[in-house]
A and B are shown apart, each in its own frame.
Chain A
């Protein structure tokens, strides 16, 4: 426990110092709240509007997780196909790269028209496209970057392609996949919030931020940002826990400074 404490102490100390300094600067120089609200004002806003913020965060998280699942499943499926068949790789890769290059600002309105602006699926699809590429590229890398000696060993035992996939390639790819999932978890939330800017339901974090900022209630807008960050961290931690479960043997799960 004390080791844990020592491990988290620097981060906690910096967190407290930054908050205290921020509060102090805002008060000492009476910085206008539309330039930078004080942490105390943000916490106040957080408490005052917890119901609205909670409802908005739930909708946004639903979009982010849904899009993450769609994009993740599609990315892994494509990665498996491309790792297995070289033809599939050369056929699909250009489209994957093209999909990755589509700017959200062009893509979000199209998704709104396809799936309906009020349908959460329109936001999920934006998230799915956003997370697809990092997950796919990393999975392909994990599936193909296997130790040649291991591959030779498998082949010398006349293992089938399926056997090689299940016993060698997939276990080898897991650290890569999980790293990609961690990156994508935070990306998913960003994607959902940006997609919300292009219209749709009212009770979501993106629209909440727009509305409050438009009326100069920046403490409320910052409170929504805090909630978004917290949701993002929670999502990240869930993937992290998943990683420890899936690959307890990997170095990243064992070393204390992971």
Chain B
């Protein structure tokens, strides 16, 4: 009861504060918070760039970027009013929604999935069917549906020990490098590069992409939508907040456009934001992240209906969700308005000509 009262008081305070902030809007700035789903790294470069280049300030926002980690669930933070905006993978947000959190996807920043299942050539794993009777790694933490869906598609039951041995792997590639798993889950912008940044003890050289077999879930057809921006629906419905959200998206998109067109400068911004990872690794990561965003055929932030339906249908088929999520779980209008505003100022919000650059891998990612 006490907690509810404190919560209610908090809500009143927030309302009063919100009203005051609204009243002092001309010249003043509105404070909002963004909860990332992981530590500072190029995966969130656009937001750091928007803050560093003053794009948020230009639209009257003072954005506090909160770092995440394995123990932070952004949906929980946003649902309990610890932040206005959150970043998460779509299936995780949908699961939270089903559990009663009134969250809504307002911008699908990543158009493609960045998840891979990586193995050494010697294991001869080139397609999902080859995982049969092998030791296959996944992080868990809600990152497994793409893998499990691919397995079931190939006739392998991930819950049957006679079909496959699922190994929960830590957030590094030690198990693959020590030969404790036959295949390991890797994000193309992170762990995959971590393997390439290691020296092969046999050759004394860095591991080469030619030494690895990569299964890309986009190609398998079980990819699911990943990084998107979500808010509380009840927050969004309050007068003035749609405008704040649109401004936030506009500035964030501008940050992403900047990071596409100025990769070196953008990496420097990420490094200054307090990442613990090296410059080489962050450069690799930004290049790959850009490839997940660009091109955005319908403009940055738009949910592609086909990709959404695939995510939803895999989520329900493989019991991430009990029932099919409603289409109210996402909306495209705010992102469209934000992208249009950006476009009219001359920015390219589609990035049709974007091509991945060749980034040289550095030892240890330094």
Contacts and interface: CB of A to CB of B under 8 A. Distances in A.
Interface of A: 25, 29, 32-35, 109, 112-113, 116-118, 196, 198-202, 207, 210-211, 213-218
Contacts of A215: 92, 95, 142, 320
Given A199-B175, A207-B140, A218 B99 contact: yes
Interface in B140-185: 140-144, 165-170, 174-175, 178, 180-181
Interface stretch (B55-63, B73-81, B279-287): B73-81
30 contacts: A25-B1, A29-B1, A29-B4, A34-B96, A35-B80, A109-B170, A109-B174, A116-B180, A117-B167, A117-B180, A117-B181, A118-B165, A118-B180, A198-B170, A199-B167, A199-B170, A199-B175, A200-B167, A202-B166, A202-B167, A207-B140, A210-B140, A210-B141, A211-B142, A214-B92, A215-B95, A215-B142, A216-B73, A217-B95, A218-B99
Contact of A33 (B92, B100, B140): B100
Contacts of A32: 79, 99-101
B135 interface: yes
A218 B165 CA distance: 26
B69 to A, nearest CB: 13
A34 B101 contact: yes
A34 B77 CA distance: 11
A198 to B, nearest CB: 5
Contact of A216 (B98, B166, B178, B181): B98
B178 A200 contact: no
A198 B140 CA distance: 11
Contacts of A216: 73, 75-76, 92, 95-96, 98-99, 101
A116 B169 CA distance: 12
A34 B180 contact: no
Contacts of B167: 117-118, 199-202
Contacts of A33: 99-100
Contacts of B76: 34, 216
Interface in B78-98: 79-80, 92, 95-96, 98
B99 A34 contact: yes
The 4 closest A-B pairs by CB, nearest first: A214-B142, A216-B99, A215-B95, A199-B170
A116 B100 CA distance: 40
A171 B327 CA distance: 71
Contacts of B320: 215
Interface in B88-141: 92, 95-96, 98-101, 135, 140-141
